[in-house]
Amino acid sequence: MRIPIYQVDAFTERLFGGNPAAVMLLERYPEDAVLQAIAAENNLAETAFLVPDGQDYRLRWFTPGVEVPLCGHATLASAAVVMERMHPGRTSVVFRTLSGPLPVRKSEIGYVLNFPARVAVPVQTTPDVAKALNAVPVELLITDFNYLAILESEHTLRSLRPDMGAVAALDRAGLIVSAPAEGRYDFVSRYFAPVKGIPEDPVTGAAHCTLAPYWGSRLGKTALRGFQASTRGGEVLCQVLGDRVELEGATIFFLEGHVNI
């Protein structure tokens, strides 16, 4: 098979910023082992695999190690491929996924994703989490997918050096870390998921499905501006809509070509 491939930087307005995702267009899905091998070969945080489904598309996401049920930046990248390369002039698309239908619409700065909210509930801080962070959070919350650790300041968050072995040993696949922002953003964050093959993710849309409801409730706001303070960095505009969250971001194409499988 000769398969089209695109690499798109998502949640950024500048090349080499945000989170790079591979997007691959298929006529049908091969065996999962083949999809996983392709994602490992691409060696990006996520590879998105699109298959036509009527006027819309089925969408699956794979890290270098596992398939994941939800991914923001690779969905953003997929929307850019559909609306800028496959169907120029189109302004919306629905992706059929493991997390249900995910509508995406074009905006002035890029695209708006409509995702399910993942509301976190407070738990007691544990020694395992403190060891993983090499810091004691001021608050700890949990979802079915991730821990959310709140730190006292943006400076503490940016200087954090987690113990990746201890993060991988936690009973959740990922660790979201967040703090109040000191500048024009409402909050800053980082995300660690070594068990998925992603020691630190550059910009994590799915994490903002938890961050937006948390900070929205804490700050008394429904519209929020988040910044993920990884080395590449990226901005996510958030809108809390009950049990849904809208995430808005820009994209930039880096690579376009074909792979032979």
Q: Among 46, 200, 235, 246, which one carries the catalytic annotation?
A: 46
Q: Within 10 A of 33 (CB to CB), how many other CB atoms are there? A: 8
Q: What are phi and psi of 9, to 5 degrees?
A: -85, 125
- Contact yes or no for 5/24 (Cβ under 8 A): yes
The Cα 122–Cα 64 span in angstroms is: 31
Cβ neighbors of 241 (< 8 A, separation 6 or more) are 114, 222
Tell me if residue 84 is catalytic. Answer: no
The amino acid at 48: A
Helices (H), 22-116: 32-42, 72-81
Return the active site residues: 46
